[in-house]
Amino acid sequence: MKKYLLLFAALLLSAYSFAQQIPVRWDELVASDFPAALEKSSKTCILPIGILEKHGPHSPLGTDLIHVREWAAHAVKSEYAVVFPDYFYGQINEARHQPGTFALPSKVIWDLLEATCDEIARNGFDKIVILNGHGGNPEFIQFFMQSLLNKRHNYAVYFYNPHGADKEYTDQYRKMHKSAIEGDQHAGESETASMLYYRPDLMKMDRAASQSGENQHRLNLTNVYTPIWWYAAYPNHYAGEGAKATPEFGKFIAEHEIASFIQALKAIKADTSTIKLQNEFFDKVDALNK
């Protein structure tokens, strides 16, 4: 009897070890491991969305994509979820004047995102977590998500969109920050620092000060929006002072963003209300239209 118990325990340990070794990236899974990945992830798939655009004279075109890819990869080490392969189809019309920009028509990026979510769900996931790395995407993503209420879906989409931070982090952030915080935006100190932590091998820091990242203030319109506003302010598609970034600052930022996303990911995996409420909503829509 003892012999069989030991054998059973060994099999359980082996199965546990196997489960622990399941890859996190969709493209690295073998088909026979897919059911185990679905179970281990609580049917949760992360869709990291980046972009291809100029990031100052010193950071790679895929900075946003690389950032979210590394961000997700670090988070799932401690909270398993399947990570969808590289996705760089977003809104980036404002950078079409810069070399290397990959800007698709609006209808294409809309249809592609919906088709991607549908395909992710068709493969068994009912929770899709969008992790965005590009500042020009949130409005597009939020409008896309609201439009998902146009028809019934058997999955829920969650957009990780953190606002604010605890005082301890904010105070330390301000202490470590060297450039003007209000001007630190695209390829500036913070974004450059994060890349120095995640992928220092791709950075060309000797070029960071070769172009201006200052606001040119070429439009003075109050309470008015125009799509040329970004180009008017930052014609170099560079906003901030990337040259002042340090790997230490990047490590501080990255550790905080990874920990915050892990917390959200845990909550999403445990969530049983969103899809239930979606179904209730669509039941009422259907009843109203009968």
One digit per residue, the tens of pLDDT, for the chain of length 290 reads: 555 444 444 444 444 444 458 999 999 999 999 999 999 999 999 999 999 999 999 999 999 999 999 999 999 999 999 999 999 999 999 999 999 999 999 999 999 999 999 999 999 999 999 999 999 999 999 999 999 999 999 999 999 999 877 899 999 999 999 999 999 999 999 999 999 999 999 999 999 999 999 999 999 999 999 999 999 999 999 999 999 999 999 999 999 999 999 999 999 999 999 999 999 999 999 999 88
- The two tokens of residue 55 are 């990031």
Of 170, 211, 171, 167, the residue nearest 188 (C-alpha): 211
CATH number at residue 238: 3.40.50.10310
pLDDT at residue 19, as a whole number: 45
| Alpha helix (H) residue ranges in 34-180 | 34-40, 63-75, 106-122, 138-147, 167-176
- For residues 49 and 141, the answer to whether their CB atoms sit within 8 Å is yes
Number of helices (H), then strands (E), in the chain: 10, 4
* Total domains in the fold of the chain: 1
Tell me, yes or no, whether 16 lies in a domain: no
Q: What is the C-alpha to C-alpha distance for residues 126 and 43, in angstroms, rounded to an integer?
A: 6
**Rounded CA gap, 216 and 203, in Å?**
26
Task: Look at residue 165 in the predicted model and tell me its pLDDT.
Answer: 76
Q: What share of the chain is helix, strand, coil (3-state, %, to 5)?
A: 55, 10, 40
The whole-model pTM stands at: 0.91
φ/ψ of 235, rounded to 5, equals: -65, -20
Q: What single-letter DSSP state applies at residue 107?
A: H
Residues facing residue 55 across a β-bridge: 57, 59
DSSP 94: G
Q: How many C-beta neighbours within 10 Å does residue 214 have?
A: 15
**Is residue 279 domain-resident?**
no
The pLDDT value recorded for residue 290 is 82
Question: 10 Å Cβ neighbour count for 121?
Answer: 19
Whether 196 contacts 56, CB under 8 Å: no
Domain span at residue 167 reads 26-268
Count how many residues are written for the chain.
290
